[in-house]
Amino acid sequence: MKFLCIECDRQMAFAERKLPGDGTLAAVFSCPACNRSVAMLTNPMETQLVASLGVHIGGRTVPEQPFELTRSTVEGGRADAFSDIAAPAGGRPVWDEAARERLSRVPSFVRGMVQRIYADYAAERQIAVITPEVMDTARRELGLEGM
Amino acid sequence: MRTYSELTEGDRSNLLGQVSAQRERVAARLATVRHVVAVVSGKGGVGKSLVSAGLSAALARSGRQVGLLDADLHGPTAARMLGVRASGLAVRDNEVEPPVAACGVCVMSSDLLLEETAPLSWREPGHERFVWRGTLVAGMLREFLADVAWGALDVLLVDMPPGSERLDTLVELVPSLAGAVVVTIPSDASYRAVRRAVEAARAGRVPLLGVVENMAGYRCGSCRADGPLFDGDAGERLARDTGAPILARIPFDPAMQSLVDRGDVARAAEALGPAAEALMTRLGPPGREERRA
């Protein structure tokens, strides 16, 4: 989808995606000429339809993870269904206690996948220690709402 | 006002591109699989999963590299028939390693993901689920195809759920589908239900590779003699209607069923050995790639 600023006759640029938490999605677009912003708001059914296709409004920010759709949508998954194998320790960031505690609150069915995404984010940016602040930044930058 | 096509800057969401990338991921994963074969039936309870498990084990026993994808996501049974239980699927960079059954068959099933008695269900929202549930099931099947490290296989059998609807999804995901094996029991009711599935397969231009008539008689547990079980000749009628050969007629054998329920598929593999060879003949010699137009 594309948005047009009628006054400026310019294509608006995707700015950010938000999940307000009520099962709806907001995608913000801004006009590069006049800076006017609009938000496209989808209702819960539209949001779920997009999610069920395994696609991301605003484009993907991280490569598709194995069983990403299954792990992020299935309810009643076994706690030990997956054994996520981490890359060799060299160069991998460590998790501080607060970040580890926060990670522990993620449902175990999807936890390994979430852990890998944050670890890859930190490794790519040469961040040695993952803290809750790093997780917040990653969520914002990567559009990982809900993780 | 200008149109979508006239706006020259990229569409950052590029939803079509994302869907296209998903399909490419499936194609890339299956590039090392010589034949993808669906095992279908228009009717539940005809023993389709037993046939899938037995065929896969028979093929593996003959030295072929075989995978079994249990596409009956709501009622998965095939993995347990092969003796495979959930034990933590290893996830590496971009793939999930499939467990390998004792008979050598690689397996993937929703049974390996769900809690023991949990139905396949989805997170919120809980209303109007009918709108997107089918899409999620299709997405899960796509991930079973694309994200599992199937490796180089001679055959990937896909144990389909009852009915024909999901076969359409499989055809869309796997345009190179080699064909379908149809499973029925002898009864007229089964004939009519399976015949509908056959017509749906034909409409999707899915080649019919053969018919397996299950429960074609009853094998006595004491004397091992076969006696009648169901009236009807659904297998023969389907073969006559479709021109596809009968690959096997298998009697209901309580002893075999009991073994399969315990994860021992050896006797079923024995019973389906000739069918497995006939199937491979239908698929063509190694190196011959079957591709649907």
**Contact (CB<8Å) A66/B119:** no
pLDDT in tens, B61-106: 999 999 999 999 999 999 999 999 998 999 988 899 999 999 999 9
ipTM of the complex: 0.89
**Contact (CB<8Å) A85/B11:** no
- Residue A59's pLDDT is what? 83
Please tell me the distance in Å from B263's CA to the nearest CA on chain A.
20
- Residue A145's pLDDT is what? 64
- Residue B13's pLDDT is what? 85
- Residue A88's pLDDT is what? 64
pLDDT in tens, B265-286: 999 999 999 999 999 999 986 4
Q: Is A32 on the interface with B (CB under 8 A)?
A: no
Q: Is B12 on the interface with A (CB under 8 A)?
A: yes
**For testing the chain B interface, which of A42, A49, A67 should be mutated: the one with the most B CBs within 10 Å?**
A67
**Contact (CB<8Å) B113/A13:** no
Interface of A with B in 85-114 (CB under 8 A): 85, 87, 109, 112-113
pTM of the model: 0.90
- Domains in chain B, please, with CATH? 19-283 (3.40.50.300)
- Residue A147's pLDDT is what? 54
- Residue A71's pLDDT is what? 93
- Domains in chain A, please, with CATH? 1-59 (2.20.25), 61-147 (no CATH)
Name residues of chain A where pLDDT drops below 50.
none
Q: What is the 3-state secondary structure (H, E, C) of chain A?
A: CCEEECCCCEEEEEEEEECCCCCCEEEEEECCCCCCEEEEEECHHHHHHHHHCCCCCCCCCCCCCCCHHHHHHEECECCCCEEECCCCCCCCCEECHHHHHHHHCCCHHHHHHHHHHHHHHHHHCCCCEECHHHHHHHHHHHCCCCC
Name residues of chain B where pLDDT drops below 50.
286-293
Going by C-alpha positions, the residue among B293, B60, B290, B49 that lies closest to residue B183 is B49
Query: Among residues of chain B, what percentage have pLDDT more than 70?
Result: 96
Q: Is B147 on the interface with A (CB under 8 A)?
A: yes
- Residue B23's pLDDT is what? 95
Interface of B with A in 217-236 (CB under 8 A): none
Average predicted confidence (pLDDT) for chain B: 92
In A, which residues are within 8 Å of B95 by CB distance? 66
